[in-house]
Each structure stands twice: as C-alpha cells, then as structure tokens.
Amino acid sequence: MSTQVLQPARPLAADDVALARVLKQAGVGKDDLIRVTGPAGLTAVLCLYRHGYERASYVHANWINATRGADALLIPHPCGTTELAAMIQGADCLREGGVLIVQLEADRSALAADSVPGLLRHVGYDVGSGLSEKGREVCIARRRSLPGFRKAA
C-alpha cells in the first residue's frame, strides 16, 4: 500500500481570492490583455470576468505559440517543465516585460521545484521569487528583451 505525502494541489483557477492575490502580486491590472490556458483555463477566465478583468481570454495550449503581445499569460493548473516547455516553445505570446504566471506541479523532490524557474531563465524570462498561495506553489516571471531584437527608433 502506498500513501501520498502531498495532496494534489487544486488548480489556482478554483480559488477566486487566491487568483486575485497572485495577479495583484504579479502587477497584472484589470486593463491588461491576459491570455489564459490549460485545463483550468476556462474556469479562470470566468473568475477573471467576474472580477472585472474583461480583456482576459482563453487560448488552447496548442495555440499559445500562435498568439502575440499579451501583457500576461496565466497557466492556472499544476504544470510541469515538459508541459510548460511545449506551451511556450518559440512563442512570442508575451510582449517584452509581459508576465508569465504558472502554478507549479507538486513534486516530492526539491529539484523539481527548481526546474520550472530554470527552464524559464533559459528561454528568456526573469524569474521573481516564487510564492505559495494556500498550498499551491506559483511562479511569476517577466519576459526579458532579447538582444538584437530591439525595435529601431
């Protein structure tokens, strides 16, 4: 018989209050263009609309890399590095300085918690300090400008 040490984390999308706190912590405002994806994405979009985030929209995970220039990308379900890498691979879905908010997958090893921030740093994000919201680990990162891709004045 096996026992699970950690209960699976409920999606961030399932908690209106926690979601609002995370968005505030990330500096995401009600006028920002927010893309939401993943299996809990529709729930999160409905929650955001109820709280006045009228520019929030759901985008299927397969289509994230086809979107451009959002102020924020929210992934409000437990997400691991493989899934996250597939979603943001080669994507310009966020504008320079845009915010990526992702709920980390619960894992028993400390190394797994470091792998999502490591991936994000590698693909061009500045990772802020993580936060824990009611037992959910959330990573907030900002998209860096890429050298050589700055617009001419």
Question: With bands split at pLDDT 50, 70 and 90, how would you rate the model's confidence at 3?
Answer: very low
Give me the number of domains the chain comprises.
Answer: 1
* Rg (alpha carbons) of the chain, rounded to whole number: 15
Q: Is residue 16, in this structure, part of any structural domain at all?
A: yes
Residue 115 confidence (pLDDT): 85
Does residue 5 lie within any of the structural domains? no
Question: Which range is most confident: 2-11, 34-43, 81-90, 105-114?
Answer: 34-43
Q: What is the pLDDT of residues 115-145, one digit of tens each?
A: 888 999 988 999 987 788 777 899 999 998 7
Tell me what the mean pLDDT of segment 37-51 comes to.
94
Asked if residue 2 is part of any domain, the answer here is: no
**What was the pLDDT predicted at 109?**
44
Closest CA to 105 of 127, 129, 82: 82
Q: What is the pLDDT of residue 134?
A: 77
Residues of the domain holding 127: 12-143
Contacts of 144 (CB under 8 A, 6+ apart): 96, 124, 125, 126
In a domain? residue 3: no
Q: What pLDDT, on the 0 to 100 scale, is given for residue 146?
A: 60
Assess whether pLDDT exceeds 80 at residue 90: no
Domain annotation covers residue 64: yes
From residue 4, how far is each of 7, 14, 76, 81, 110 by CA, in Å?
7, 22, 23, 21, 16
Indicate which CATH number applies to the domain containing 77: 3.40.50.150
3-state secondary structure of 21: helix
**Residue 106, in any domain of the structure:** yes
Residue 26 has pLDDT above 50, yes or no: yes
| Residue at 18 is within a domain | yes
Residue 103 falls inside a structural domain = yes
- Mean pLDDT taken over the chain: 83
> What are 137's strand-pairing partners?
132
